[in-house]
Chains A and B, each alone.
Chain A
Amino acid sequence: MTLVFSQLFTGISIGAVLLLIALGLSLTFGQMNVINMAHGEFIMAGAYTVYVVQQIITNAGVSLLVALPVAFLVAGAMGVVLEFLLIRRLYTRPLDTLLVTWGVALILQQLARDIFGAPNVQTRAPDLLTGSITIFSSGDGNDLMVANSRLFILTLALLAVAALTLGLRMTPLGRRIRAVVQNRDLAAASGIATGRVDRMTFFIGSGLAGIAGVALTLVGPIGPTMGTNIIIDAFLVVVVGGIGQLKGTVIVAFALGMMQSLVEYSTTISVAKVLVFLTIVAFLQWRPQGLFTLRTRSLA
């Protein structure tokens, strides 16, 4: 029972990271119909940001807090550069975009190897996040415990989702993003600089990947291919949740996270991946449009 619970909570925190990544993907996909294969490498950039910041600021807690906004900026800036240099020019060619961004992903991985070396690197978690909270004490050693780091990740993801939702709803930029997604030509002809809106969307979507990268450093090693490992799951969340459907994305992210950690607990990681994958294939046979019907291709 307690093991199941702790696996479930692990799953929830995996789901939280998936959600962060899927939201960013969904945002850029909704905006420009672009499947950005380099999104995973923005996660990696966020994770290495923590590593770099820790070389400068030794206090693990302070460096984590500093790394969060820096990772957002670093990954966001990478997204903007990618959008400006490549994606913008391939706007009407989705297949080319797929290939080109995949190429960029490989280049970024190699770059990480050249800078940080091929082996994984470790960061130090702040003391506050290494312990765990006892939810229920049974007295016989079978306590219900939740790791602080997992709790932190969940909080971080929920805050990001709240900020994104509010930002899209309440701010001028949010209104512009939604308007461009809903009717690009009308937005342009209404005086909105759509190119600038695209760039800002890429900045935010990619920045979220950077935040996800920071979160991942708390639960695992940092390596050049860490983005690739998780990005497939995030794509699955986007597709199964119904592209651009916030509700669907949230539900599927957590469901997938929990499913993975539960199956993982009873088998091995690769068997778990296969099982999850088969379930999703079966699901998409049943509901090809995803969990929620696709009304617009956007979070808007």
Chain B
Amino acid sequence: MLEFDGIDVGYGRSVVLHDLSLAARDGGVTAVLGHNGAGKSTLLRAAIGLLKPRAGTIRLDGADITGLAPHQRVARGMAYVPQGQQSFPHLTTAENLQLIADGRRNGKAATAEALGLFPALAGLMNRRAGLLSGGQRQQLAIARALITEPRLLLLDEPTEGIQPSVVAEIEQTILSLAGRGGMSVLLVEQHVGFAVRAAGRYYVLEAGRVTSSGQGGEDAESAVREALAV
């Protein structure tokens, strides 16, 4: 589905990802684990096109998308939920969603469907996104991404810093989305747990390089924990 082939990515003069290759496969969850600063967020920014690799290729379904702008990647079926519950803080919840639905043929239905996954948002439509709780903002962020009806969803630590009651809800949503078929998820996490259990395949990232990888699932947890402890 999405392949990184030997990419170097960085900021200014510093290189963060070194000759990195990995692939998010069709259907299900692919997990990327790594400590703080390993380069996980940088990887997803490169995937959606906010950062341009200095070397290497990114392919979506075999087609080279390395040179495409972010909105062109979204048009090809990618969606991205960045780290830190980002939103458009001065727009209301409704406007945050409408913004994405604008000009989309299926916008209305897709919005309704996304709201169906997060019923809590329905009561917050006229509140500015900046005034929502972290959990609510994250639900809003995922809902926004889903309105574009992506085939591949990039999630950057979606449950980090969120109240436990909402964490379960978000994890459930990820499972049901990935399970429904048709949608693949590239999930970035710092901690072993849900991500590894849910993943068909996992990668461990260390200082911008893949240091180990394997099949996901409950049995993989200890192996990943070990790889991260090194």
Contacts and interface: CB of A to CB of B under 8 A. Distances in A.
Interface of A: 172, 175-176, 178-179, 182-183, 185-195, 296, 300
Contacts of B103: 172
Given A172-B102, A176-B102, A186-B86, A191 B50 contact: no
Contacts of A186: 82, 86-88
A87 to B, nearest CB: 18
A81 to B, nearest CB: 21
Given A176-B99, A189-B80, A191-B100, A183 B88 contact: yes
B131 to A, nearest CB: 13
A193 B50 CA distance: 13
B182 interface: no
Contact of A178 (B80, B87, B91): B91
B90 A300 contact: yes
A195 B145 CA distance: 20
Interface in B61-83: 69-71, 74-75, 79-80, 82
B37 to A, nearest CB: 20
Summarize A's interface: helix, strand, loop or mixed.
Answer: helix
B113 to A, nearest CB: 17
Contacts of A300: 90
A175 B74 contact: no
B44 to A, nearest CB: 9
B102 A190 contact: no
A186 B129 CA distance: 14
A189 B102 contact: no
A193 B145 CA distance: 16
Contacts of B38: none
Contact of A183 (B74, B79, B86): B86
Contacts of A179: 88, 91, 99
A175 B91 contact: yes
A182 to B, nearest CB: 5
Closest 8 CB pairs between A and B? A191-B74, A172-B102, A188-B70, A189-B80, A182-B88, A193-B71, A175-B99, A179-B88
A188 B86 contact: no
Given A175-B98, A189-B50, 8 more contacts: A172-B99, A175-B102, A176-B99, A176-B102, A185-B50, A188-B49, A191-B100, A192-B99
Contacts of B80: 189-190
Contacts of A190: 74, 80, 99-100, 144-145, 148
Contacts of B74: 189-191
A200 to B, nearest CB: 13
A144 B144 CA distance: 57
Contact of B70 (A182, A183, A189): A189
A177 to B, nearest CB: 10
A192 B70 CA distance: 8
Residue in A185, A188, A191, A192 whose Cβ sees the most chain B Cβ within 10 Å: A191
Contacts of B48: 189
A300 B95 CA distance: 12
A193 B100 contact: no
9 contacts: A175-B99, A182-B91, A183-B86, A186-B86, A186-B87, A186-B88, A190-B148, A191-B71, A296-B90
B181 interface: no
B164 interface: no
A56 to B, nearest CB: 38
Nearest to A194: B71
A171 to B, nearest CB: 9
A193 B71 CA distance: 6
